[in-house]
Structures are given as structure tokens and as C-alpha cells.
A and B are shown apart, each in its own frame.
Chain A
Amino acid sequence: MTHWWRATWAMASLSICEIGRQKTWIVLLAVIAVMLVALASLQAVDASAQLKLSVVTISGSINFISTLFAILLVAATITRDREQLVSLTLFPKPLPMSAYVCGRWLGVQIAIAIGVLILNTLGTLVVHLTADHAIPEMRTVHKPVDWQRVDIFGETSPLDTKRVTLTGTKKGGAIRWDLAKLPTNQGDLVLLLKGRLRAIDPAHYQSHIAVSARPSESAQQTLLVCSDESPYGSFRPDGKPVESGATMKDKGDNHVDLNQDYMRFRLAQELISPEGTCIITVTRNDINSSLSFKKFDSCLIALSGGGFFTNMQRGGCVVLAQVGYLTAIALLCACFSNIGVTLLAGLTAFFGALTLSYIQDMTGSGKLPNFLVRFLELMQFIIPDFNRYGVEGTLAGGQAVGWPIVMDAWFYYGTFSLSFLLIAWFVMLRREL
């Protein structure tokens, strides 16, 4: 076993050396230059949108470039082993085929990881320099466990839908969210709230609500006021500050930026029970508009999610998981075909993975012939979905990319990678030199 590791590591360091000594650095520099130029020419309506745009562009292009790079590198290195017949000096040595396959894969993976690390560091720097704002704050969110409807007399009734709308001609209808397992050692927490708003009259595009909290069922309600950093909610449409409660704006499903789209309230530590529970009640105080909320997305507790840089790097880990899949595919192709075919197959897998979610939407439309639907359904066992984690969107929305996401991504893409590596190993075992 130790010999296997040594051989694998020898192969991996060879790959890293090979990649390092190629002229690929020039391409990398060119990419950075293009990125900077592109960023300088991007114009958004305001500073916060500009920041968001920079984050999306930078992390998006880093992801795109590194995945493409991986395909190119594998195609170049492995096919060369075969075409330049280096394998004739390689395989008479005690080099297990599995160590060769794993070592090659690992080497490319490490080389890309180094590249992603460098690019992400530069990317953070660029975001810092181009945005007038400071580096965006990153948050992880804590979602409620349950919710109930509260009628105007204070009677609660369970809700089994994921979305509910408060409407009617009487004030006072409310929603209560139950939160559990909140951290009790972090002092005051931040409550985030948003909702969709519908009104007939433009004068009521903002709606008055009351937000209150209590640690448990039996405790006294405390009315919350918007905190100073809240992007909206503290002022009435006429510009005067609200005396009590808050004014809500229409924020639909597309508004997911934790920094921009949610009202913020300070949730004092007294309002959280020692067990970490808290009950939040939102009451509708304006009969001219209807409010609708979602069970898990409208009322959140924001916790600090670490710095932008670390989140960017964790996002890089998710990208690496995707790269691992592409590396494995390209490695498999390189085992039996030339550099051109390998590149083509790698690119096909890449764009297939990018468009998989759209293809799946299409299969659900019922407009395609049956055999095509079956075929496309089968595709998802070969091609993973690269939009599954949407790292750049997450980062731009101020949301942290936590380790659980990274683990989940490695498990998801890792299954695909492992399958293709196994096939590659099998193919290599059968192959003659």
C-alpha cells in the first residue's frame, strides 16, 4: 500500500511538473488581463450592483477558465504518454495501473487547485480595488423549522404549504415562524425578513408591518425595529421614519441577495431561549396590499459566514469537484484516443453539464418524443449538473459557501469522477502498448 502511494505521488508530482513547465502561464496571465479589462468596462446602476456584478464575473470566469484548463491539461499530458510512447519506459516499472490513473488525476487536480487559489486571490484583490464598497460581508443563514398562521383574534392554525399570502380587508393577520437550535453564545443575532407584496394602488407599494419576537410560547412579545444597516424598512414612503414596526417592499423569488433584499432586525439575546428557540411573528398592518411569504426563504437568521476570501476559496473547492469530473472524463478518453478527440469529448461533457438543468426542464415540457425524453433522462447518470451549487450566484448574494456545501459537491461530483476513473483503469489494464 505504501508503495502504491509512493508511485501515485511520483505520477502526481510528475504531472504537476509537466503542467508547470508548459507555456500555460502565458494563457493564465492573458486570462487575468482580460478579466481586468472586462471588469473595468462593466457598468451597473449603483455601487452595490457593481459589486455584485464584479463578484459574479470574477468568480464565474475563474470557474469557467479552470474547468476548461483541466480538460486541456489532461488531453495534453495523457495522450502524450501514449503517442510519444513514454509508456514503454513507464509500464515495465513496478507502477500499478491504478497508481498511474490516480496519480495523473491527482496531479492535474493539484495543479488546477494551485491555479484556482492564485486566481481567487487575485479575484478578491480585483473586487477590492474595483468596488467602492468594501469587500462584501458573507453570511450563512439559519432557516426556520416550522410556521403557522395567526388570525386576527390570535388563534393559530398549522400551515402545510410552502407559501402563504396574507390578504383581506382587516388588519392584524399574522404569520409566526418557529426557530430552533439557534446559537446561544454569540450575543445578539440578526433577523432577515422579506416578502412579496401586491397592491392595486402605487401609493401602497410599501406596506406597514409589525415584527415581534419572544423566546418561547409563554413569554411576552417584544416589538422589533429595523437596525441601522437595514437596506430598507425604517422609512415610510413619504420619507418620514416609522415610529413602530417597519415598511416592507416587494421582494420576489429573484431577490436573494442577503445584503440588499432583506430587512434587518436586531434580535437581542434575551429573545432567544437558553435552548436556542425563538418565535417570530410578522403582522400585516396595511389593508391596501397583500403580503406573501415563503416558509424557508422569507424569515432567516443571519450568522457570520467568514471572510469573502475564505468563501471564495471554498467556492473554489466546489469548482475543483467539478474539475475532478472533467479530468476523469478526459483521462478516460485520453486512454484510447488522440488529443483532438479527448478535447472534443471533454468539452462536450463540460457544456453538457452546464446545460443539463435546461435539458431536464425540456424533458418535463411534454413536447419531446418519448424516446428522446428517455435518452435525456439517461444522460443524467453520465453527466452531472454544473448549475447545482451556483457558487458565483451564492457569493454575489452575500451568502457563504460553507463546508457542508463543499462536502456535498465532492460527494455528488466525486461519484461521477470515481466511476470514470474506474472505467479508465479498466481500459488501461486491457490496453496493449
Chain B
Amino acid sequence: MAQAAVIQIKGLSKTYADFWGRARVEALKPLDLEIQEGEIFGLLGPNGSGKTTTIKLLLGLLNATNGDAFMFGQDPGNQDAKRRVGYLPEETYLYKFLNAEETLSFYGKLFGLDKTTLDTRIDALIKQVGLDHARKRRLGEYSKGMARRLGLAQALINDPDLVILDEPTSGLDPIGTAEVKDLIVDLKQRGKTVLLCSHLLADVEDVCDRLAILHNGQLKACGRVDELLMSEDRTVVEIKAGEESQLDAVKAAAGEALINVDHPRERLESYFRRIVAPQQDVTKQENEA
């Protein structure tokens, strides 16, 4: 089955300008990226590397300096494309004077959902994010993590085909974090596309099919998680049972107990450090100078 590109980014760049139009920060250098339907895509990078900027450009919240971005083949800001997208910003910005139900109902109305669909969906989402006990409380009284959970529900109110999550687990407790991971896997099983920004590398490694690493607004790596993390200079021999001391014997024997000889996987964390570390030193030196 030929997969359709849900997100297409071609030479997209962004330079923030000040009030007088003078260039201040080159947040994103020309970027090319494609995200296919049904994929879970991880966007990684240190703080200030341009992840949020990329997402905002995609959603039409920022105007690109150069290049093009398309969602479902449409320009950023296209109303039809927006109907199929759910977005969770990196911090939870919601109306403090509404309660959980009212918040979801308000956002649902913006999608033109009818009342019965809206009611069942609100009920299901509130239960899914574990806010059933606080559904009538105003958001002004919510804790950070509770607001985050509602933010997640808000992003799913239209049953979107593309879900963009900017650091969804920030402020969540360990159970919440695990639930978000389950949710993402569940979304994938239902054929949805997910764009995930996160600093929790272990989680990204667990759920993502492909990932890209940005650094200083530049794309440093992009590809399938398995391929990126493959270490080709080493070989691992898996044995059915046995101990380290027996390894040589097992190898030499290479008998029926030998099941698999494969490239071992590096942890994403060490890979990430390797990609990002040298440049970080460079920036540091620049700053000191």
C-alpha cells in the first residue's frame, strides 16, 4: 500500500524578526521532512532547537520566512486541514473560567460537532485522561498535570487523523506518562498519524517509528528508529541460555543453540548525546567568546 504523506515540509525556514523587521534569531534553517500516514514520528532536539517553531509553522500560527509546509496537501492555516488535526501545545493554555466539560464542549463546537457526538466524546475523553472526578471544577483550580491531561483531551476532541503533541508528558506523573504512551500506541493502531516532540528519549524510542533530531534549527539526523540505532561495528550473539563464560564455547561450537547473530541496538539516549554533544560545546564556546 502506497502511503500518503500527511506532512510535507520543503525547505522550510524561519527567522524571527523584531518589531522593526530586523532579523534576530534564525530559529529554523531550511528543513525538508515528510511524515507518512499511520506513522509515529518523533521530533527531538535540545531546548531552543526549533521544534516548536516547526510545529507552529505547520499549523499556520507563524509565517514562514522561506519554503513550504503542507498538511494533508494543504497550506498551513487551511480550515479543512485544521479539521483533521489535534494539537497539544508545549504548555497548557486553556480558559481558566471554564470547567473540564465546558472546555471540551467549546473546542468541540469550533469543529461544528453536533450535540450527541460531542456529549459522548466528552464523556469518553474525560474518563480516558482520568479527570472524571474533576469534570465540574474550573480549570483555574486545576493542578499543572490535571490541566495537561485536559489539554490532551482537548487535542483529541475532533478524533483527528493527525495528532501533534508537543512534550505531552511534561508535568505528568509516572502513571500519566505511561498512559500517554499507551494512548499514542492506541492512536497508531487506529491508523492515526502522530507527531511527537519529547525530551523523554526512552519513551520516544519505545513508541516512535521514525524520528528526526534538530539542533540549532538544523536537521542532524532523520530515519527509522531501528536503523538509526543500529551499531554496525559490533555483533551480538544471542544464546538460548547460559553465561558469559560459556560464550566462547558456544561460539566455537555454533551448534543448534545458536539462534540469532545480529547488530545490537544502542540506547537512543547515547545516540542522542553523540549527535548533539559536539555542537553543544561549540555553542558554549561561542557564547563565552
Contacts and interface: CB of A to CB of B under 8 A. Distances in A.
Contacts of B102: 17
Contacts of B79: 94, 96
B42 interface: no
A200 interface: no
Contacts of A17: 97-98, 102
A92 B61 contact: yes
A89 B93 contact: yes
Contacts of B85: 92
A433 B56 contact: yes
Interface in B105-140: 106-107, 109-112
Given A88-B61, A432-B61, A433-B62, A93 B95 contact: no
A86 interface: yes
Interface residues of A, number: 26
B61 A3 contact: no
Contacts of B106: 10, 14
Contact of A89 (B56, B89, B109, B112): B89
Contacts of A3: 112
User: Which 4 pairs show the lowest CB-CB distances between chains A and B?
Assistant: A10-B109, A92-B87, A93-B110, A85-B93
Nearest to A86: B93
A18 B83 CA distance: 25
A91 interface: yes
A95 interface: yes
Nearest to B98: A17
B268 interface: no
B3 to A, nearest CB: 24
Contacts of B98: 17
A84 B112 CA distance: 25
Interface of A: 2-3, 6-7, 9-10, 14, 17-18, 21-22, 84-96, 432-433
B151 interface: yes
Contacts of A86: 93-95
B61 A14 contact: no
Contact of A94 (B61, B111, B151): B111
B158 to A, nearest CB: 8
B59 A92 contact: yes
Contact of A91 (B61, B63, B97): B61
Nearest to A432: B62
A235 B85 CA distance: 83
Contacts of B111: 93-94
Q: Which of A6, A91, A92, A95 has the largest number of chain B CB atoms within 10 A?
A: A92
A33 to B, nearest CB: 26
A101 to B, nearest CB: 15
Contacts of B112: 2-3, 6-7, 94
Nearest to B86: A92
Contacts of B169: none
Contacts of A14: 95, 106
A94 B82 contact: yes
A78 to B, nearest CB: 13
